[in-house]
Amino acid sequence: MTTPSTQDLLARRERLLGAGVATFYENPVHIVRGEGVWLYDADGRRYLDLYNNVPCVGHAHPRVVEAMQRQTETLNVHSRYLHEGILDYAEHLTSLHADHITTAVFTCSGTEANEVAILMARAATGGRGLIYTQAAYHGNSTEVRKLSRLRGDNEPEFRSIPVPQRYRPIEDGLDDSALTDAYLSRLQAEIDGFAADGIPFAGMMACSILANEGLPDIPPGFMGRAADLVREAGGVFIADEVQAGFARSGNWWGYETTGVTPDIVSMGKPMGNGLPLAGVVASREMVDTFRQRTRYFNTFASSPLQAAVGQAVLDVIEDEGLVESVADVGGYLIDNLRSLQESCEPMSDVRGHGLFIGMEWVKDRESKEPDPEGAEVIVNRLRDTGFLMGRAGEHGNVLKVRPPLVLKREQADMFLEAFETAIAEPT
């Protein structure tokens, strides 16, 4: 069997999946196999995966493969029967969260989790209005799409606030404390705006590390005080942990990086290491109200299969000490990237949490003018030398490093060497 050309594959893809199904990289990668932090293409070429957060414990982790096989050959049914697997999993998962979080609702995707979070916030508060951060992305459904700048502009029940950050602050010349206050006053203005429009307030949703916003350095105290303002106005604070959760930040949950205590937590991507598995956790009272109002049922969710695979992922994170390892390797990476930054003019800011690192790529450090094209050149150079990374952020100019959690220091070194070469030439 001959390997089809990239052009043939792209043409066939457009015919069968439609035009506009984007691929990564100028020269898209035809991946056929994965193992740990490594991906292999159809020509047998090896790539270090510095992008994928879904296979969080590594591609094809044997314990996940085994859990999936064992459960699939034993039983996989919906949740209208009694099954202990999903109860064991819910117990383990909620035990990893703040004390008031005791109860779970499982779904198949992060979008479905955020649908549940919205329904739950509205059921719990009786409100409708929701606040989100600009440049956020929380999912692809009609309602969840409204929690993003592009879709939410003319939606009276959805209002946005600027991305809280130090690098491109909302106002120049403020110290940390004044900057935090400035962002909080924007939040209060939107809460007041709902009141002025007669729209009862339901709450605020934010990714705990503002991943799609480009992992900004959030002004100290902002998240916790934002949650306070939201609750004072009768709303609930929803932490979207779809990208931030499951050890990614070097903590179990992204919300630990800011110290905020969320009322509702949504989770997704890494939760099943590739099996569609997502969900929401909250207090028993909040989940009860949600269930009573919506009679929510999700055919594929809360299944023995989801439970077995989700449990295997938690076990691997614990048994392989990944929270600590991510903090260590992530810290090592960020220190070394900051050293490279010193002699690289366009790389104007290096920041992040654990194994989720963002690097601003700008035309000029003074003006901070974003350079998404330059960032894309770097991404493609690295792809061509066998390192897969990506871009993020409000302006698309933030280089994104987000490998499987099992990345080791020696693999980080391989990346650092390739990265140093890639940024040595002008873009």
Footprint of a second copy on 34-63 (CB under 8 A):
34, 39, 52, 54-55, 59-60, 62
Please tell me whether residue 275 binds a second copy under the rule CB under 8 A. yes
Please tell me whether residue 294 binds a second copy under the rule CB under 8 A. yes
Nearer Cβ to a second copy, position 111 or 165? 111
When binding is defined by CB under 8 A, the residue of 26, 45, 46, 91 that contacts a second copy is 91
317, 273 in Cβ contact below 8 A? no
Rounded to an integer, what distance in angstroms lies between the CA atom of residue 404 and that of residue 40? 15
Residue 163: name the closest of 144, 179, 178 by CA. Answer: 179
Please tell me whether residue 196 binds a second copy under the rule CB under 8 A. no
113, 242 in Cβ contact below 8 A? yes
Site for a second copy in 100-159 (CB under 8 A): 102-105, 107-112, 115, 118-119, 140-143, 145
Compute the chain's Rg from CA coordinates. 22
Nearer Cβ to a second copy, position 226 or 287? 287
Please tell me whether residue 99 binds a second copy under the rule CB under 8 A. no
When binding is defined by CB under 8 A, the residue of 26, 46, 87, 126 that contacts a second copy is 87
When binding is defined by CB under 8 A, the residue of 26, 45, 77, 189 that contacts a second copy is 77
* # residues near a second copy by CB under 8 A: 92
Please tell me whether residue 290 binds a second copy under the rule CB under 8 A. yes
Amino acid letter for position 136:
A
Q: Which stretch binds a second copy (CB under 8 A): 18-26, 185-193, 198-206, 246-254?
A: 18-26
What distance, in Å, lies between the first and last C-alpha atoms of the chain? Answer: 39
Least distance to a second copy from the beta carbon of 250, Å? 22
Rounded to an integer, what distance in angstroms lies between the CA atom of residue 18 and that of residue 153? 28
152 contacts: CB under 8 Å, gap ≥ 6: 132, 145, 146, 158, 159, 160
Nearer Cβ to a second copy, position 134 or 297? 297
323, 314 in Cβ contact below 8 A? no
How many Cα neighbours within 13 Å face the side chain of 262? Answer: 28
Nearer Cβ to a second copy, position 19 or 196? 19
